[in-house]
Amino acid sequence: MTVRQIRDTREVARRRNTRVVIVRPRQPAPAGDAAPARSRAPAGATREPKPAKVRPAAKRARRGTARPSRGVILSGVLLAAALAALVVTGRQWHDQWRLDGAHQAALAAAQQATVDFVSISAASVDHDLQRIAGGATGDFADEFNRGLRDVRTAVMENEVQSQGTVLRAGLVSGDLDSAVVIVAVDATVKNKAAPGGRLSHYRIQVDMALDPDTGRWLVSRLQFVG
């Protein structure tokens, strides 16, 4: 085999082992779909850090504050309701306490006034009548003072000596400055006609009024009811 034949044989073998690569031309992209080219920073340049977002202090405080739970809110509501009820109850108790005190004072004054009214003696008539007049007010004071002289004359002429005792008393009605009281009284009365004395029973209704200047309970009306 000649040198040329050897070269041809090698050329054929080389062509059989060689891969054929077909390069297709790249189609140009439409003008509207072209993506903007990213600008690249020059080599060696450093990127500036983006400024951090600063949250307002109010937002930070609001987000940092924990909201109270439902249990805490419910407990607060119940506590407020309990305090309100306590205040109302305390005020009602105080008002009732004042009213009870006024009733007791009026009842005691009415009992003393009826005892004074039926307890009179010829030996102390002026003092006795003055005591009755000092505990009177309103219509009863006017009526008693008009008949004061006639009462004194009757006591002296008949040599009256009377002493009363309260059997029982009850409050009919009343408020902080007025009251109506029924008092049952026994009185032992001596005079010229009954020197040994006789027992009399009286049932007297007494209307009481509180004097705002002195704080005393006075008789505004007195009448025998049985």
* pLDDT tens by residue, 127-178: 999 999 999 999 999 999 999 999 999 999 999 999 999 999 999 999 999 9
The closest alpha carbon to 133, from 224, 223, 218, belongs to 218
Q: What is the pLDDT along the chain (226 residues), one digit of tens a residue?
A: 555 555 555 665 566 555 544 445 565 555 544 444 455 545 554 555 555 555 555 555 555 556 667 777 777 777 777 777 777 777 777 788 899 999 999 999 999 999 999 999 999 999 999 999 999 999 999 999 999 999 999 999 999 999 999 999 999 999 999 999 999 999 999 999 899 899 999 999 999 999 999 999 999 999 999 6
Q: What is the dihedral of CA 177, 208, 131, 144, to 10 degrees?
A: 130
Amino acid code (one letter) for 4: R
- Closest to 164 in 3D by CA, of 215, 127, 112: 112
Q: Which domains does the chain have, with CATH numbers?
A: 90-224 (3.10.450.230)
Is the Cβ–Cβ distance between 207 and 106 less than 8 Å?
no
Distance from C-alpha of 119 to C-alpha of 96, rounded to nearest angstrom:
35
Q: Is-above-0.85 flag for pTM?
A: no
Closest Cα partner for 217 from 123, 133, 102?
A: 102
